[in-house]
Amino acid sequence: MTQTLALIEEATKKSGLIWVQGPTGPSRALWHVWHEGAAHLVGGPGEQPLADLGLADGARAAVTVRSKDKGGRLVTWHARVSELAARGEEWSAAVAELKGKRLNAPDAERIEERIEERWATECRVLRLEPEGSTVELPSGALTAQPLPTPAVTRMPMPAALPRLLRGRRRGRQG
């Protein structure tokens, strides 16, 4: 069991993203921080969308950890979800860690005061604690259909573009 927890902790600490599959909804990539034996994440308005995953206090989730350098799946572990009470001792400790990892916050100016206040009033801070010794190692291709999105792929590259780029390089060298 100790080796299993060490594997979960080390893999999750090193990964920038974890894939979380809650009781409902799709599996979603979420940024997190490992703190005091669990993955902590924040979601809500202006943050990660968590509403459709069913991550409520006492729920169970499957957490898949990817390799930071290769991007492949390393391990999947099962977690017990708990929502931390805003401004409580546990919440404050987790938020202190999460603030340091939050990139591009909408309230980046005076981040110390604003982000904590916004997270306390509008967002949820969740703790995903490893449960039992259940660990699944990767097997198979694990491909999945992408989630629907209004984003579109850009048009194909014009056929003449490679010739134009080659011509520019020759012009600069001469």
pLDDT-based confidence at residue 146 (cuts at 50, 70, 90): confident
Other beta carbons within 10 angstroms of residue 142's beta carbon come to: 10
111: in domain: yes
What distance in Å separates the CA atoms of residue 119 and residue 125, rounded to the nearest whole number?
Answer: 8
74: in domain: yes
DSSP state of 156: P
165: in domain: no
Q: The domain that contains 7 carries what CATH number?
A: 2.30.110.10
Is the pTM of the predicted complex or chain greater than 0.85? no
- CA-closest candidate to residue 64, choices 165, 144, 160: 144
Q: How many domains does the chain have?
A: 1
Question: 86: Cβ–Cβ under 8 A, 6 or more apart, which residues?
Answer: 119, 120, 121, 125
pLDDT tens-place string over residues 37-78: 999 999 998 889 888 899 989 999 999 998 877 777 788 899
22: in domain: yes
Owning domain of residue 95:
2-142
147: in domain: no
129: in domain: yes
71: in domain: yes
Q: Is the pLDDT of residue 96 over 80?
A: yes
| Bridge partner list, 33 | 40
pLDDT tens-place string over residues 159-173: 888 888 877 665 555
Greater model confidence, 3 or 8 = 8
61: in domain: yes
